[in-house]
């Protein structure tokens, strides 16, 4: 290495407030994409003007102009000057300022009100160290520590304001609002709550894009309405829930006719609202609220909608109101990058570049998985992180592919693994809540010893939340259980199982006088008995299949529910039962080849 070079780590934020507070899928996608594009611009500038040698991510990713390409919000590089970090920071902030102000100026917003929000928002952190006197591994660990310390010290400006805050972030004053209030005096009183320069976008945007009485700050407005290629037409949660079902419809013409009868008439935004495929939204109140002028009578539209649903069901698809949000992350990536499992530390730089290339190739494979439109929508795939909306009919196959294609970082080293959080939610569940639970389930999956795990939270429309965490190897067990709920037995066994074993293991502590193997054998025997009692297939072959399933698939899952703490053993009976509850939900609500009409 050149001792005159500097090791630079550069990162852009805030990630959480820019992504996690999203109310619509397009907010989430635009926020993620914008940070990625800003980081790409900084990395390109570092390479072209400051002779940077890129370590992470790869130069290939940085030079790729494809819309679908995502970059991490940080990069690691060797540069020729200590001043590079500051110059890149200025470049990124100027690019962000120019992009936001240029976009919102199209809507007549005054710069005086929005400029302070734009100037205050972006957080750019960087740290560098001359390589003279340091090996790469020592330099990287030191610079990484400095950067973490800087990020933990949040510098902020306190801006007193009594104006109404943004509906999304709640941090800045709302400068853009949507109100269709016809009474001039009531509208005037409503507008008085906002900043004096706030503007009403009723005549400029669709009610699909902004809900009634919603207010957005400059930053959140930019995320919602920036019309760059990566923010055009990102699917809604309702559409993602129906992707597979709509694709099964042979006569696509009836969809086009139905959509043309229900498009908002008072806006340039003519996208169809997929929520209108569901009968609960086909009401006069909903249509008026979203600015839809009917081309047919409401009764005729309801008949048309029912015909679409019936055709889909008869042609092999379901009509599901739920979708999945998947948040996947590599296990112990900080330790991998720091070279903790590398015997020859002098190879740290080369190893870091090797990891970068492997993760670059993984991102390509992930994008290829989502090339099939019926699967869902990929929000982000850069480095070891993946964030995606997935149709439930494709969820398990997609999860299997994401885990199977995760890279190995070298022979002779421990296996690199990912873990993920999955939230199954109703299309009307607030997206911010879904994001919060996805992060929580990912953290729970990563809390398992050895990781390589999956955490699933099922959020029903009634508000009930069921959660279970299990090793990745049990994903096939879950799929097999769902299949057997269609072909071998019904779900009545689960109610009886809960009644019996929740009483027996109410405090979850196991009696130390009995062997753990005895508890496992007892529970398996009773579970098998209950499954056989609830059989829908009474053949000998079905009985043998159930017996084998309990012995080979359920037993390993049950054994992993026994945990030791200070020589005491406990049984995670709720986690075990919730695994079966998730299977029951999928059997009842999601299309399956063996599902009876």
The answer to whether residues 115 and 194 belong to one domain is no
In this structure, is residue 268 part of a structural domain? yes
**What value does the mean pLDDT take over residues 63-72?**
76
Give the helix/strand (H/E) hosting 324: strand 322-330
Q: Is there a contact between 572 and 485 (Cβ–Cβ < 8 Å)?
A: no
**Number of independent structural domains in the chain:** 5
Provide, rounded to the nearest whole percent, the portion of the chain with pLDDT above 90. 43
In this structure, is residue 592 part of a structural domain? no
pTM: 0.89
The answer to whether residues 556 and 482 belong to one domain is yes
Give the helix/strand (H/E) hosting 12: strand 6-13
Q: Which residue has the higher pLDDT, 493 or 231?
A: 493
Write down the pLDDT at residue 207. 67
The answer to whether residues 102 and 15 belong to one domain is yes
- Domain of residue 331: give its range: 318-463
Confidence of residue 441 (pLDDT cuts 50, 70, 90): very high
Write down the pLDDT at residue 228. 54
The answer to whether residues 139 and 220 belong to one domain is no
* Single residue among 294, 314, 334 that ends a domain in this structure: 314
In this structure, is residue 218 part of a structural domain? yes
- Label residue 423 exposed, middle or buried (CB < 10 Å: 0-12, 13-18, 19+): buried
Q: Among 136-140, 208-212, 420-424, 548-552, which stretch is predicted with the lowest mean pLDDT?
A: 208-212
* Single residue among 314, 332, 365 that ends a domain in this structure: 314
The answer to whether residues 567 and 441 belong to one domain is no
Instruction: Please say if the pLDDT value at position 528 is more than 90.
Output: yes
Q: Which residue has the higher pLDDT, 419 or 247?
A: 419
* Single residue among 463, 495, 518 that ends a domain in this structure: 463
The answer to whether residues 276 and 366 belong to one domain is no
Write down the pLDDT at residue 230. 47
Which CATH number characterizes residue 390's domain? Answer: 3.30.70.270
Name residue, tokens 């005054």.
110
In this structure, is residue 98 part of a structural domain? yes
In this structure, is residue 529 part of a structural domain? yes
- Label residue 98 exposed, middle or buried (CB < 10 Å: 0-12, 13-18, 19+): exposed
Write down the pLDDT at residue 597. 46
Write down the pLDDT at residue 262. 82
Confidence of residue 548 (pLDDT cuts 50, 70, 90): very high
The answer to whether residues 309 and 400 belong to one domain is no
**What value does the mean pLDDT take over residues 26-35?**
83
Q: For 103-125, how does the pLDDT look when each residue is reduced to its tens digit (9 = 90+)?
A: 887 766 666 778 888 888 888 99
Residues ≥6 apart with Cβ < 8 Å to 373: 243, 247
Q: For 245-279, how does the pLDDT look when each residue is reduced to its tens digit (9 = 90+)?
A: 888 888 888 888 888 888 655 455 567 889 999 99
The answer to whether residues 500 and 544 belong to one domain is yes
Is the bond into 57 cis (omega within 30 degrees of 0)?
A: yes
Which of 72-81, 208-217, 322-331 holds the top average pLDDT?
Answer: 322-331
The answer to whether residues 65 and 134 belong to one domain is yes
The answer to whether residues 325 and 310 belong to one domain is no
d(Cα 174, Cα 199) in Å, to the nearest integer? 9
**What value does the mean pLDDT take over residues 237-246?**
92
Q: Whole-number mean pLDDT of the chain?
A: 86
**What value does the mean pLDDT take over residues 543-549?**
95
Q: Which SS3 state, helix, strand or coil, does residue 317 take? A: coil
In this structure, is residue 488 part of a structural domain? yes
The answer to whether residues 555 and 438 belong to one domain is no
Relative orientation angle of helices 516-533 and 492-504, to the nearest 10 degrees: 150
In this structure, is residue 88 part of a structural domain? yes
Q: How far is CA 555 from CA 396, 524, 587, in A?
A: 21, 7, 21
Q: Report which of 345, 344, 361 is spatially closest to residue 408, judged by C-alpha positions.
A: 361
The answer to whether residues 259 and 361 belong to one domain is no
In this structure, is residue 595 part of a structural domain? no
């Amino acid at each position: 290495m050149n001792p005159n070079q500097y090791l630079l780590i550069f990162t852009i934020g805030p990630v959480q407030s820019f992504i996690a507070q999203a109310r619509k899928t397009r907010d989430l996608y635009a926020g993620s994409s914008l940070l990625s594009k800003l980081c790409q611009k900084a990395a390109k500038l570092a390479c072209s003007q400051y002779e940077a040698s890129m370590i992470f991510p790869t130069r290939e990713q940085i030079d790729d102009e494809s819309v679908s390409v995502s970059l991490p919000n940080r990069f690691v590089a060797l540069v020729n000057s200590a001043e590079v970090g500051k110059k890149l920071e200025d470049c990124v902030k100027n690019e962000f300022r120019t992009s936001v102000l240029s976009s919102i100026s199209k809507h007549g917003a005054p710069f005086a009100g929005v400029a302070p929000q734009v100037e205050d928002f972006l957080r750019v952190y960087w740290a560098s160290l001359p390589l003279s006197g340091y090996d790469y591994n020592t330099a990287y660990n030191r610079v990484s520590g400095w950067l973490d310390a800087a990020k933990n010290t949040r510098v902020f400006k306190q801006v007193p304001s009594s104006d109404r805050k943004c509906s999304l972030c709640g941090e800045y004053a709302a400068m853009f609002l949507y109100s269709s209030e016809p009474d001039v005096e009531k509208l005037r009183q409503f507008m008085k709550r906002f900043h004096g320069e706030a503007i009403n976008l009723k005549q400029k945007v669709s009610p699909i894009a902004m809900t009634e009485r919603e207010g957005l700050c400059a930053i959140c407005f930019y995320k919602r309405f920036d019309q760059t290629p990566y923010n055009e037409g990102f699917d809604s949660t309702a559409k993602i829930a129906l992707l597979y079902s709509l694709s099964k419809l042979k006569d696509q013409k009836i969809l086009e006719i139905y959509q043309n009868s229900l498009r908002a008439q008072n806006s340039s935004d003519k996208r169809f609202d997929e929520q209108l495929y569901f009968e609960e939204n086909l009401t006069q109140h909903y249509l008026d609220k979203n600015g839809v002028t009917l081309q047919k009578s409401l009764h005729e539209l309801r008949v048309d909608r029912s015909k679409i649903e019936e055709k889909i069901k008869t042609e092999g698809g379901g009509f599901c109101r739920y979708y999945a949000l998947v948040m996947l992350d590599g296990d112990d990536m900080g330790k991998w990058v720091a070279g903790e499992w590398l015997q020859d530390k002098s190879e740290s730089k080369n190893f870091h570049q090797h990891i970068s290339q492997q993760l670059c190739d993984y991102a390509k494979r992930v994008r290829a998985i989502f090339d099939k439109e019926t699967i869902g929508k990929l929000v982000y795939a850069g480095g070891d992180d993946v964030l995606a909306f997935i149709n439930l009919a494709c969820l398990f196959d997609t999860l299997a592919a994401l885990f199977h294609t995760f890279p190995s970082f070298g022979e002779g080293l421990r296996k690199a693994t990912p873990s993920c959080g999955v939230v199954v939610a109703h299309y009307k569940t607030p997206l911010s809540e879904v994001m919060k639970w996805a992060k929580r389930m990912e953290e729970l999956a990563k809390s398992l010893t050895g990781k390589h795990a999956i955490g699933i939270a099922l959020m029903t429309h009634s508000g009930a939340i069921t959660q279970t965490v299990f090793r990745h190897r049990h994903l096939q067990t879950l799929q097999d259980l769902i299949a057997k709920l269609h072909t071998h037995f019904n779900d009545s066994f689960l109610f009886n199982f809960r009644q019996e074993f929740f009483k027996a293991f109410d405090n979850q502590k196991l009696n130390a006088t009995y062997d753990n193997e005895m508890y496992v054998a007892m529970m398996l025997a009773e579970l098998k008995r209950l499954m056989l009692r609830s059989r829908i297939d009474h053949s000998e072959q079905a009985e043998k299949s159930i017996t084998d399933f309990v012995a080979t698939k359920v037993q390993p899952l049950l054994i992993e529910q026994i945990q030791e703490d200070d020589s005491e053993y406990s049984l995670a009976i709720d986690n075990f039962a919730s695994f079966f509850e998730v299977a029951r939900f999928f059997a009842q609500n999601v299309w399956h080849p063996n599902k009876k009409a």
